[in-house]
Chains A and B, each alone.
Chain A
Amino acid sequence: MRAEALKGHLDGLLLATLEDGPLHGYAVKEALREVTGGRIDLPTGTVYPALHRLEGAGLISGAWGVANGRRRRTYRLTEAGHAALSGERAGWQEFATAVTFALKARPWPATP
């Protein structure tokens, strides 16, 4: 799936990957790839600016630690992030329902 197709939904997807616990940038990317069966496989480097934006918005919080001898920053959902994720879910379900109805195949009109 192309990155442009995710426009407007990336924040919700990233928040969802952090719902089960803290993850670092690469693990967020991998979690998103795995949960979508490989359909959403973002370039790893582009995940980090998005995480920084979410942190700036107060939806996630980052903390430095050490893993494999390297300094590593992990992120967790904040209370505001949990609330934003719920909002994203509700909005998506409403949108998906509307689009599903709109695109539903209709029978050909009967010929007189």
Chain B
Amino acid sequence: MAGHPLITAQLDVLAARLPAPAAEELADGLRETYEHRLGECGDPDRAARTAIADFGDADVITAAFLRQSPQRRVALTLLAGGPVMAVLWGTALLTAHAPAWPVPLAGRLLFGGALAATVALLLMTVRERHSYRRSRAMTAGALASLIALDVLMSVTAAVAGPVPAWPAVLAVTASTLRVLLVLRVLPAVLAR
């Protein structure tokens, strides 16, 4: 059965926002809805408008998929663990007299900026309501950045710091666990 331009336009909106398998499944559902309405009323324009109204708003459908997306769960988990990591690393850096380490100011500012950008990306992932793809890209960026920051911080603490103390050991262990967690969930976040 032939489609309708309104149906095609609605499917284009959903395809631009959602992963291909979900968009394909929704396309089948919307076309099925349209065909039933067309069978009932016989008027293609009316059937298309009714089918779109019956099917539901693209914003609502996208938001529902995003609420249960793996990237949102990962972002929430990492944000929830953020304060604990901050306390661990804060304690480790203070007890190791980190302000006296031979790290240039530009490097410190760059690290701080990257950390702030990572947190911002995670927060934006949690708040994203309109695009599954954008949400996935933001999470992937945040996870890559987090791995780099954890590795960099651990190496710096080991090289520039004094004899390792237990706060630094705890912080490096926590960072290692976080890197392992991120590597484990990364395939699910990147999956189409």
Contact = CB atoms under 8 A, between A and B. Distances in A.
A72 B21 CA distance: 10
Given A26-B33, A45-B29, A71-B28, A52 B22 contact: yes
Question: Which of A25, A45, A48 has most B Cβ within 10 Å?
Answer: A45
A26 B37 CA distance: 13
A106 interface: no
A82 interface: no
Contacts of A71: 24, 28
Contact of A24 (B28, B56, B65): B28
Given A52-B22, A52-B65, A52-B68, A45 B30 contact: yes
A47 B61 CA distance: 9
Interface in A64-78: 68, 70-73
A53 B65 CA distance: 9
A49 B56 contact: no
B28 A26 contact: yes
Interface in B147-169: none
Interface residues on B, range: 20 to 34
Contact of A44 (B21, B33, B58, B65): B33
A34 to B, nearest CB: 13
Nearest to A51: B25
B64 A49 contact: yes
Interface residues of A, number: 19
A68 B35 CA distance: 11
Contact of A45 (B24, B60, B67, B68): B60
B24 A25 contact: no
Question: Which of A43, A44, A50, A68 has most B Cβ within 10 Å?
Answer: A44
Contacts of A44: 29-30, 33, 54-56
Contact of A46 (B24, B32, B64): B64
A68 B31 CA distance: 11
Nearest to A67: B28
Nearest to B63: A49
Interface of B: 1, 21-22, 24-33, 54-58, 60-61, 64-65, 67-68
Closest 7 CB pairs of A and B: A43-B56, A49-B64, A45-B56, A45-B61, A26-B32, A45-B55, A25-B29
